[in-house]
Amino acid sequence: MSIRLHIVVEGQSEETFVNRILVPHLSRFAVWTDARSVYTSHQGPYWIRGGMTSYERARRDVTLWLRQDRSPDVRLTTMFDFYRLPPDFPGVLETAIAPTAQARVDLIEKAFASDVNDTRFIPYLQVHEFEALIFTDVESLSIPYPGTERNAALKRLGAEGLKHKNPETIDLENPPSTRILKHIPDYDKVSAGVLAIEGIGLQRIRQACSHFNRWLTRLEGLSA
Q: With 50 as the cut, is the pLDDT of residue 46 above it? A: no
- Contact between 122 and 65 under an 8 Å Cβ cutoff? The reply is no
Give yes or no: residues 19 and 109 share one domain.
yes
pTM, 2 dp: 0.92
In a domain, 75, yes or no: yes
Give yes or no: residues 91 and 155 share one domain.
no
Instruction: Read off φ and ψ for residue 177, nearest 5 degrees.
Output: -65, -40
Predicted local distance difference test score (pLDDT) of residue 44 = 44
Q: What is the chain's mean pLDDT, rounded?
A: 89
How many domains are there within the chain?
2
- Contact between 209 and 133 under an 8 Å Cβ cutoff? The reply is yes
Res. 51 pLDDT band, cuts 50 70 90: low
**pLDDT tens digits along 196-211:** 999 999 999 999 999 9
In a domain, 200, yes or no: no
3-class DSSP state of 101: helix
For residue 198, how many other CB atoms are within 10 A of its CB? 14
**pLDDT tens digits along 124-158:** 999 989 999 999 998 899 999 888 677 787 888 87
Give yes or no: residues 118 and 149 share one domain.
no
- Contact between 183 and 160 under an 8 Å Cβ cutoff? The reply is no
**Residue 47 domain boundaries:** 3-128+206-220
In a domain, 189, yes or no: yes
For residue 129, how many other CB atoms are within 10 A of its CB? 25
- Contact between 81 and 9 under an 8 Å Cβ cutoff? The reply is no
In a domain, 117, yes or no: yes
